[in-house]
Amino acid sequence: MQNDTDFPIAILGAGFAGIGAAIQLKKAGIESFTIFERASEIGGTWRDNTYPGAACDVPSHVYSLSFEQNPNWSQRYAASGEIQAYLLDVVDKWKLRDRLRLNTEIVEARFDENAGIWRLTTDGGDTFTARVVLAGVGGLVDPAYPNIAGMDDFEGEVMHTARWNHEVVLRDKRVSVIGTGASAVQVVPTIASVVALLTVFQRTPAWVVAKLDAFYPAWVKRLLARFPFFLKASRFVKYWVSELRGPIVFYNSKLLSAIGVSLSKWNLRRQVKDPDLRKRLTPDFQFGCKRVLVSDDYWASFERDDVELVTDSIERIEAKGVRTDDGRLHEADVIVLATGFKLGLATAPFPIIGRNGQTLDEAWASGAVAYKGMTVSGFPNWFIMMGPNTGPGHTSVLVYTEAQIAHAIQAIQKLQSEGLKLMDIRRDVQDRYNAGIQKRMTRMVWGGCNSWYLNADGSNHSLYPGFAAEYVLRARKLNPNDYECVGY
């Protein structure tokens, strides 16, 4: 049995995954961890996405840590600031501040097989060693800036939703929003009544279903705080509602798709009266193929006289605004890029060098693969949270993350208790698992259209093809036989 000080653990990233892992390590009596975070504060997505209207699109009773449930969510879908405040509270409650190394970006990780340790190098040139790395650096982190000609010519302000500049005043300005995905459906209705003119550039319309958001009255919050059973019951019900709706958004089925389409069309009809406008807002691809969005007021924004939907292609950005290919110049003072993120899973987040000098990028040359999304053969003692093929299109990603944390902690306990040098997922086990995942992909709906879910070759290495509950059952229990276990 090795003691804690001989067993440094590095957690990369202080978002939900990293913070959740730190708490579970503490609960397991393992204290020898450090959390490395490249930003100056914790929070990940909820630190970075502060655009007007930014909120969770999964109910907060499910989109929160199961071991840190919060009776005080103000509404079903909490706003970004409230989620960030929750994470800050959790960090204080678990006294994680002194475990954090903020402003510290890991720029290289190299496995020393003789010693069974990972050597981590920071952007400041410091090095750290870790017996185990828990990598929770997120999949949708770095903004994707569109490659539109003339962007530098624009005389006004340009900002990405994930890097909102709160010093830019939008009141009474002409604002152009490029993109109509999950971020746009939140920002558009929130700023529509503030700005003088809102022009929304839609390349592809999205299926949007009703959010049915509501504030929790004070008595409900008191009840949930007083009787944790009700809080757990609320989480349980919301989890199973989203889970049982899952097949509508993930199976490639005409019948299920028709159900989704009718729900979305009902949402469109109740918000938009003009049949021509409805037509322009209606997607022509199968329901679920791209991420299904939730909103009660996005589509209604286009009924306003001061909001215009533009479906002509953008030709270029000019000094005064956005020129579309019909020759029209859409004048603007501010351009908002709601154009999404670079999928972090396409490559390793930084050079990660495993056994025999192989890099993770080499291992992922034909797409990111990992055993249950967590471990990659040749990269021992490295556990990914929110890794390949673990994203949900229908429920809270944290359900998956918690299973990954549980799996990693069992591996840490085994390494420690048996004095092992390394645990490396067996290549045959990893290959068999991923062959099964890709086989199941053929029954899923995601192959039928272009989205960030897919790699350039059309393969899907981002989403899990099935129910969250099934993933959790498969992933949360470590089977030591799946791993090559090597002692000193």
Amino acid at 187: V
Give 288 or 378: the residue with its C-beta nearer to ligand NAP.
288
| Residue 341 engages ligand NAP in binding (rule: CB under 6 A) | yes
Q: Which residue has the tokens 């919301």?
A: 238
Instruction: Give the one residue of 30, 248, 268, 314 binding ligand NAP; rule: CB under 6 A.
Output: 314
| Residue 178 engages ligand NAP in binding (rule: CB under 6 A) | yes
What's the gap between Cα 234 and its chain centre?
A: 23
Give 8 or 181: the residue with its C-beta nearer to ligand NAP.
181
Residue-level length of the chain: 488
3-state secondary structure of 252: coil
CB of 313 to ligand NAP, least distance (A): 8
| Residue 43 engages ligand NAP in binding (rule: CB under 6 A) | no
* DSSP label of 303: G
Instruction: Give the one residue of 204, 311, 358, 413 binding ligand NAP; rule: CB under 6 A.
Output: 204
Cβ contacts of 260 within 8 Å, gap of 6 or more: 207, 209, 248, 249, 287, 288, 292
| Residue 140 engages ligand NAP in binding (rule: CB under 6 A) | yes
Give 161 or 234: the residue with its C-beta nearer to ligand NAP.
161
Terminal-to-terminal C-alpha distance of the chain: 13
Part of the chain binding ligand NAP (CB under 6 A), chosen from 5-13, 201-209, 240-248, 419-427: 201-209
Contact 146, 337 (CB under 8 A): yes
Closest CA to 370 of 379, 452, 354: 379
**The pair of three-digit structure tokens given for residue 304, joined into one six-digit string:** 């306003």
3-state secondary structure of 410: helix
Binding residues for ligand NAP, rule CB under 6 A, total: 23
| Residue 183 engages ligand NAP in binding (rule: CB under 6 A) | yes
Q: Which residue has the tokens 């009596």?
A: 29
CB of 183 to ligand NAP, least distance (A): 4
Instruction: Give the one residue of 339, 375, 389, 416 binding ligand NAP; rule: CB under 6 A.
Output: 339
**The pair of three-digit structure tokens given for residue 92, joined into one six-digit string:** 């204080």
Closest residue (Cβ) to ligand NAP? 181
Contact 288, 257 (CB under 8 A): yes
Instruction: Give the one residue of 19, 56, 281, 444 binding ligand NAP; rule: CB under 6 A.
Output: 56
Q: Helices 254-271 & 228-250, crossing angle to 10 degrees? A: 110
Interior/surface letters 46-70, b for 16+ CB within 10 angstroms, e for the rest: bbbbbbbbbbbbbbbbbbbbeeebb
Part of the chain binding ligand NAP (CB under 6 A), chosen from 88-96, 178-186, 250-258, 267-275: 178-186
Part of the chain binding ligand NAP (CB under 6 A), chosen from 12-20, 91-99, 182-190, 272-280: 182-190
Is the Cα torsion angle 354, 358, 361, 364 positive or negative in sign? negative
CB of 75 to ligand NAP, least distance (A): 13
Part of the chain binding ligand NAP (CB under 6 A), chosen from 304-312, 338-346, 422-430, 469-477: 338-346
| Residue 203 engages ligand NAP in binding (rule: CB under 6 A) | yes
Question: Which residues within the stretch 267-306 sit at the binding site for ligand NAP (CB under 6 A)?
Answer: 291
Instruction: Give the one residue of 28, 72, 146, 474 binding ligand NAP; rule: CB under 6 A.
Output: 146
| Residue 452 engages ligand NAP in binding (rule: CB under 6 A) | yes
| Residue 182 engages ligand NAP in binding (rule: CB under 6 A) | yes
Contact 245, 259 (CB under 8 A): no
| Residue 15 engages ligand NAP in binding (rule: CB under 6 A) | no
Cβ contacts of 355 within 8 Å, gap of 6 or more: 111, 113, 378, 379, 380, 424
| Residue 163 engages ligand NAP in binding (rule: CB under 6 A) | no
**Rounded Cα distance, 369 and 363, in Å:** 8
CB of 206 to ligand NAP, least distance (A): 7
The contact set with ligand NAP (CB under 6 A) reads 55-57, 140, 146, 148, 178-184, 201, 203-204, 291, 314, 338-341, 452
